[in-house]
Structure 1
Amino acid sequence: MSTMTMLLNELAPEARDQLLRQARPVRFPADTHIFRERQHADRFWIIEAGRVDLDKHLPGRGTARVDTLVPGDLLGCSWLFPPHHWRFDATTTTEVHALEFDGQAVRELCAQDTSVGEAVSAAVAAAVARRLLE
Structure 2
Amino acid sequence: MTPLEMLRAHPFLAGLPEEWLPRLTGFAYPVVWHPGHRLFRAGQPAERFWLVRTGEVALDFPVSGRGDVGIETIGEGGVLGWSWFFPPYRWQFGAVAVRRTTAVEFTAEGVRRMMESDDRLGRQLTARFMSVVVDRLQASRVRLLDLYGYPAALPPAG
* TM-score when normalising by structure 2: 0.77
Deviation at 1:19, TM superposition (A): 1.6
Question: Corresponding residue for 2:44?
Answer: 39
Q: Name which of structure 1's ranges 124-133 and 36-45 shifts more when overlaid on structure 2.
A: 124-133
Gap runs ≥5 in structure 2: 1-8, 140-158
Between the aligned partners of 2:76 and 2:54, the Cα distance in structure 1 is 5
CA RMSD of aligned residues (A): 1.6
Question: Corresponding residue for 2:25?
Answer: 20
| Number of aligned positions between the proteins | 131
Question: Corresponding residue for 1:90?
Answer: 95
2:120 to 115, 118, 121: 115
Identity %: 34
The structure with higher relative contact order (CA 8 Å, sep 6+) is: 1
Tell me which stretches of 4 or more aligned residues in structure 1 moved more than 6 Å.
none
1:103 lines up with 2:79 in the alignment = no
- 2:68 partner letter: T
**Larger Cα Rg: Structure 1 or Structure 2?**
2
Native 8 Å contact 1:10 1:119 kept in 2: no
- 2:56 partner letter: R
Gap runs ≥5 in structure 1: none
Q: Name which of structure 1's ranges 100-109 and 64-73 shifts more when overlaid on structure 2.
A: 64-73
Residue deviations 1:73-107, cap 9 Å, x none?
11111111100111111000001110000000000
Structure with bigger strand share is 1
Residue deviations 1:21-76, cap 9 Å, x none?
32100111111001111111000000001000000111234332121000111111
Question: Corresponding residue for 2:156?
Answer: none
1:65 lines up with 2:70 in the alignment = yes
Native 8 Å contact 1:55 1:63 kept in 2: yes
